[in-house]
Each structure stands twice: as structure tokens, then as C-alpha cells.
Structure 1
Amino acid sequence: MRVNADFTQRVAVHFDQTAWVASPAAGVERKMLDRIGEEVARATTIVRFAPGSAFSAHTHDGGEEYLVLDGVFQDETGDFPVGSYVRNPPTSSHTPSASKGATILVKLHQFDPKDRTEVRRSINGGGDIDLFKDAHEDVQVQCWAAGEQIELDAGKGLEVFVLEGSFIETGEEFGVWDWLRLPPGSRSTAIAGEGGARVWIKSGHLSGMI
């Protein structure tokens, strides 16, 4: 399966314009942002867990990072409420579930194979947050003031996911849970909406994809 798999191209996915697709696990649905592969895939996905749903135990050979957007996500290590950011490095394993339901943004098989850093933290409380940085990638939460112009330098690729508010880029408006991917070597400008914007932004990680 290949979804938005040409990393030389700008890609925009709008949450309200994208259908949910059933996964192999009962009660678990997905909106695929990009994907290369079948069930074991390099993937960026919004995943919705119905109350009581779960995936079977599995190992993340290429690592996993996720941000809880709604509800409470769970595994053997505990409960992760809205605003939880988690990085499970390559070779880690777990059995994910959501007894009361949850929605997450998740990225799979995109880590440096040598990465063994675990991250578990909350993005709640507002403000800019540095979530993770190494030679391979830089992950942040940024707050943009109303009307602010932000230069998006995608020298090695960049993704922006809207958590709150909105912004406009190349004349296209992005609202809550919308996603933008800019290809390596490109630059662009975002203009925050009237209410500002709070975004999850990841850069530096796509140069090897083209």
C-alpha cells in the first residue's frame, strides 16, 4: 500500500475531508496521512479506538511515536490522557488499548535504527515545547500568535499538524487535526489565523526519502 508516498511533493490532508478506514482490529479505525507498506508499514496515521478496543501485542522494529488527541490511550506501562506525547524506540513492544476510547496521531517505522530514547511527557499547559531532538529529527510544539507569519524551512523535510486554531499556507487553510508535509529542499510561509495556532511540528527527518 502506498499513500502520499512521493516525498518530493507537498501534501495536505484535511481531517474533515478524509474517511475513516477500518483496521484489522475490531473497533479501531484510521485516517492514513502517509503510508508505505501493509500492516507493517512506514506510516503516519490518525487512529481512533472505540471504547474497549485494542491491538494485539506487537514489537516496533522501527520505533513508534504518538500524541494523544482525545480520550485515554493505554498499554502495559500506564494510561496516557489527552496531550500525552510518547516515543517508543526500535525493539520496544506493547499491547495498546483504550478502555474508554481514544484518538491518537501516530508515526511508525521512522526512527534512527540506533535510537533507544524513550519519551513520555505531556504537552498540556500551553507554550512552546521541545519534545525530542537528535541528529535525525527535531520534534516540537509551537504556539503561533494571531496573524503571525512563520517561515517554514523544510531543508530536510517538515510536517505540521494542527492541535488548536488554524493557519494558512499557500492560500490553503489548515484547521484542527489537519496535516501538512513539505518536501526536503522547500520553503514556505504560514500565517496564523485570527485565534492563533498551536501546532506539532517535526523537521529534519525526510531527506532520506527522496
Structure 2
Amino acid sequence: MANDRINADFTQRVVIPTETMPWIPSPQAGVERRMLDRIGGEVARATSLVRYAAASSFPAHEHALGEEFLVLDGVFSDEHGDYPAGTYVRNPPHSRHTPRTAPGCTILVKLRQMEPSEKDRLVVDTARANWRDGGQSGLATLPLCVIPGREEVALERLQPGTALEEVDCAAGEEIFILSGDLRDAHGQYGKGTWIRNPPMFRRALGSSGGAIYWIKRGHLRRMPS
């Protein structure tokens, strides 16, 4: 993996039903990946799903430009604690850890996508956090991280039959559907679908049966290269 480029044109919309993707073994035994976007080799700017087998681990390593992940199932652990499904973690640039898991786990992870100035570690247990009114009928939001002028990360929840207003994704967005279904003028999307909308893309989300999804917006003001 000398210099992989996967979905590396950030001016283009990408929609991936990830549950149909094969799991690709990583160099570490017991760890597999589904690569969603990537620029680089084993040290890369990357967005991936990573699956750890039960009782697997990963060697100690540093995240020079940070790491952000959401635990989708199981329990992810390191020397700092145990993180059950629903936990959102931001490890800032130059942080170190030694990942492991007892029961196995799957995470949605983004690597090397933070500003060097970010210093604080963040852990949010979404199972215990409070949802807020999202400002539109049928929408609730659970903020995870807000960095003014740079990015916002949240969980959003739509009630069945919700139709949201059209918005302009001025600085881009990513969506990962955790449960339920979403739709817009371009298609319908089920659980496990990852969507990357480029800057200036317009969309109006809705849901027939209700949905919960992870969303990150504002982080594509400066196109990766």
C-alpha cells in the first residue's frame, strides 16, 4: 500500500452501502478494514470502518494528526479506558494509545484529519448524553464536537415520516447511517450507508421509517490533496 487513493476527489459525491463491501485484512492479525476514502499508504489520511476480532489488539502508535472514531458495536479499549458501542472519541494530534478489545468491536474511524492546534481529548458516551430539539419538526440532535469555523459532529435522529428542509452543504458533509433509512432527491439509503457530500451540494433529507445517523459537516472547506 504505497500510496493508495480511494475516493480521493473531494469535489465528487460518494455513496457507499458499506454492508456489501468485503472486509480487507490489515497488516495486524485480527484487524480488518473497509476503506471509504484514503490518501496515502499505511500512514494515511483515511476514513474507514475497522473491525477487531475478539481478543485482538494493535501495537502502540502515535496519531500525528489525530484520530476520531465512533464505536458501532462491541467494546473498544485502550490504556485510557473501555468504550462501548455508541461512544465517540477524539484523540488529538500526537496522542498515543494501544488499542485492544475483549469481545471484539467495529468502529468508524477518521485518521489524520485534525488541525495541529487541537489539544483536547474528548470522549462522549452517547447512550448517556441528552438529545436536543433539532429546530425542525421530527429532528433531534446530539452534539458530539463543535469547533467554530471548522467542523461540527453530531448524531441526528429523524422520526418516521420526517421531511427536512433543503440545505446547502457549503463546506461539505459526511453521513453514516446507524439505523433506519434516509432518502433525498438522489436516492434511498439504508443502515450502514456512508455518504460524502461535497461543498455547495444541496440536499433535503427525509425518512420513511425513522433513522439515526452520524453526521460531520464543515470539514471540507479546504480540499484534501
Q: TM-score band, normalised by the shorter chain?
A: over 0.9
Q: 1:75 aligns with which of 61, 75, 78?
A: 78
- Specify the alignment match of 1:133 in structure 2: 146
TM-score for the superposition, normalised by structure 1: 0.95
Shift of 1:185: 1.5
Listed one character per residue, the Cα deviations across residues 124-147 of structure 1 (whole Å, up to 9, x for unaligned) are: 257321111113110011111212
Q: 1:154 aligns with which of 165, 169, 181?
A: 169
Shift of 1:152: 4.2
Cα 1:152–1:13 shift into 2, 3 Å: farther
1:142 aligns with 2:156: yes
TM-score for the superposition, normalised by structure 2: 0.89
- Specify the alignment match of 1:177 in structure 2: 192
**Paired residues, number:** 209
Q: Distance in 1 between matches of 2:85 and 2:98?
A: 19
Q: Distance in 2 between matches of 1:85 and 1:122?
A: 6
Map 1:88-167 → 2, pairs under 5 A: 88-124=91-127, 127=131, 128-134=141-147, 135-150=149-164, 151-167=166-182
- Specify the alignment match of 1:56 in structure 2: 59
Q: Distance in 1 between matches of 2:127 and 2:190?
A: 19
1:39 aligns with 2:50: no
Q: Distance in 1 between matches of 2:74 and 2:26?
A: 19
Identity of aligned residues (%): 47
**Structure 2: runs of 5 or more not aligned:** 132-140
Amino acid at match of 1:66: F
1:209 aligns with 2:217: no
Q: Distance in 2 between matches of 1:67 and 1:153?
A: 25
Shift of 1:173: 2.0
- Specify the alignment match of 1:66 in structure 2: 69
Q: Distance in 2 between matches of 1:178 and 1:167?
A: 9
Shift of 1:202: 0.4
Listed one character per residue, the Cα deviations across residues 159-209 of structure 1 (whole Å, up to 9, x for unaligned) are: 011111111133422222211000011111221122x11111000001211
Q: Distance in 1 between matches of 2:150 and 2:64?
A: 17
Q: 2:202 aligns with which of 176, 179, 187?
A: 187
1:10 aligns with 2:13: yes
CA RMSD of aligned residues (A): 1.3
Which runs of 4 or more aligned residues in structure 1 lie more than 4 Å from their structure 2 counterparts after TM superposition?
none
Shift of 1:69: 0.5
Amino acid at match of 2:123: R
Q: Distance in 2 between matches of 1:93 and 1:190?
A: 38
**Structure 1: runs of 5 or more not aligned:** none
